[in-house]
Amino acid sequence: MSKPTTPAESAQLKDIVAHAKEYGFVFQSSEIYDGLAAVYDYGPNGVELKNNLKRLWWETMTQLHGNVVGIDAAIFMAPQTWEASGHVAGFNDPLIDNLDSKKRYRADVLIEEKAAEYENAGDPARGAALTAEMGRLLTANDLAGVRQLIIDEKILCPVSGTGNWTEVRQFNLMFSTQGSAVDSEAPPVYLRPETAQGIFVNFLNVQKSARMKIPFGIAQIGKAFRNEIVARQFIFRMREFEQMEMQFFVRPGTEGEWYDTWKAARRRFHEALGLPAAKLRFHDHDKLAHYAKAAVDIEYEFPFGFKEMEGIHSRGDFDLTQHQNLSRKKQQYFDNDLDPATGKPYGNYVPYVVETSVGADRLFLATLCEAFQEETITEGEGDAQTTKQRTFLKLHPAVAPIKAAIFPLVRKDGMPEKAQQIFDELRFDFRLVIEDKDAIGKRYTRQDLIGTPFCIVVDGQTLEDDTVTVRHRDTREQTRMPIGALRAYIGEAVSFKTVFAKL
């Protein structure tokens, strides 16, 4: 459950949003036209960070597990897909409008915020009872009941301060477009609201072509689209976003163990990446989605409170059975392992699914929030001592956009040439930059702001003995080492293996 944002917390998010823009991580989409709500673009440093996060997830799934393979399915799918999945009928959010402010809200979010107020005021039991009641009403699709709950709880519009509410209505979150240029009666083509269905409809293609044996997983990274009612909190809730999903197909009856296994594994991933254990927590769902038998969120404590970053869902055979029924194509697997109870093969069945689903953008935001550091540092000695503020991004070196910056101390005496030589030697291994403008201190600052873990300085001594200083972003300490040692030194720090080793 989230706690309401305090002014200090929203100021921190504001600083992060401003930082993300100024240093080329995230821009508002089509900003010159005042932007498009809840749509964002990634800049030069942002795309590197995001790609590194995606590659880390991808390799964690498909390289560390011999039984997980990937696919890249299209965004458009046959319209029946979304009938079968339940999205046409049920992918709704309950919305409510305030008649005075004309502002629109998600009814469930208003209630959750009220519950969080109780929790913060020291009455978690009342908060839990409120969310449980909401879950019950939503499951029963009792929208009048949800409205009454808002009224009974005296929930007011934060803008108008009144409780003058409309009815609660369900709003479908799927975007649609016309798929056929000639047939205006043709059903709409949806922009997929999740990547998972591309995996389900390819279940047999993948199982047969890659000769997978249960248990096995299919992983995918791709865009998803949702017409979110209230889009707030920067890239936390977007209308176009990216998901990293893995569907793990298991023998019915074993889903409980696999659910626990993946739940633990996914939490370890976030901790290995540097998100502190104290800022991560599990949150069991109060209201289960139409497909789910069990569902838990991994929440991260964003500056605006604990919020979902990843979902782990035990989906049973819901999706494959639905596709089997609507397509009239069997979605079964023949399991020739022997059932110890009967001594015979388990035979044909529709597998059960445990899903892990994380938003690339939310992982990016969590990573950025965690990395954003402000500290006061002291420089110089005695009377010459000064203090100043330092902002830096303490990104895990494995995901930092640039791994090392190379600085010739001055733009003469052969130092620029030496810097270029180092760049040429290392550029097949790492993403590097050469910076020769401004004083060294300013150059360090620029790299700190984008999270570059190492700055390599070429100075007079380099020309004599082929050694350089390596300055460390987090400690600001410098180490002198031979140029020949750089590849191994940087390589070790930025390798994905540093993350994998903790999984």
- The binding site for ligand ATP (CB under 6 A) comprises 194, 226, 228, 237-238, 241, 243, 308-311, 357-359, 361-362
CB closer to ligand ATP, 113 vs 310: 310
CB closer to ligand ATP, 53 vs 409: 53
Alpha carbons 287 and 134: distance in angstroms, whole number:
8
Minimum separation from the CB atom of position 311 to ligand ATP (A): 3
Q: Are 419 and 436 in contact (CB under 8 A)?
A: yes
Task: Count H helices and E strands in the chain, helices first.
Answer: 17, 23
SS3 124: helix
CB closer to ligand ATP, 363 vs 468: 363
Q: Are 295 and 313 in contact (CB under 8 A)?
A: yes
Minimum separation from the CB atom of position 298 to ligand ATP (A): 8
CB closer to ligand ATP, 226 vs 443: 226
Contacts of 475 (CB under 8 A, 6+ apart): none
CB closer to ligand ATP, 116 vs 358: 358
Minimum separation from the CB atom of position 163 to ligand ATP (A): 25
CB closer to ligand ATP, 198 vs 311: 311
Alpha carbons 160 and 112: distance in angstroms, whole number:
19
CB closer to ligand ATP, 275 vs 309: 309
Minimum separation from the CB atom of position 357 to ligand ATP (A): 4
C-alpha distances (whole Å) from 443 to each of 103, 417, 450, 456, 494 are 46, 18, 11, 11, 21
- In our burial notation (b when 16+ CB lie closer than 10 A, e otherwise), range 22-55 reads ebbbbebbeeeeeeeebebebbebbebbbebbbe
Phi/psi of residue 417, nearest 5 degrees: -65, -40
SS3 sequence of 50-111: HHHHHHHHHHHHHCCCCCEEECCCCCECCCHHHHHCCHHHHCEEEEEEECCCCCEEEHHHHH
Minimum separation from the CB atom of position 308 to ligand ATP (A): 5
Nearest residue to ligand ATP, scored by beta-carbon proximity: 359
Strands 216-225 and 240-250: antiparallel
CB closer to ligand ATP, 192 vs 403: 192
Within 13 Å of residue 300, how many CA atoms lie on the same side as its CB? 26
Alpha carbons 218 and 173: distance in angstroms, whole number:
25
Q: Residue 298's beta-bridge partner residues? A: 282, 310
Minimum separation from the CB atom of position 285 to ligand ATP (A): 8
Q: Are 295 and 312 in contact (CB under 8 A)?
A: yes
CB closer to ligand ATP, 362 vs 418: 362
Minimum separation from the CB atom of position 247 to ligand ATP (A): 12
CB closer to ligand ATP, 274 vs 397: 274
Minimum separation from the CB atom of position 95 to ligand ATP (A): 13
Minimum separation from the CB atom of position 360 to ligand ATP (A): 8
Minimum separation from the CB atom of position 96 to ligand ATP (A): 16
DSSP conformational letter for 29: T
Structure tokens belonging to residue 145 = 């009941």
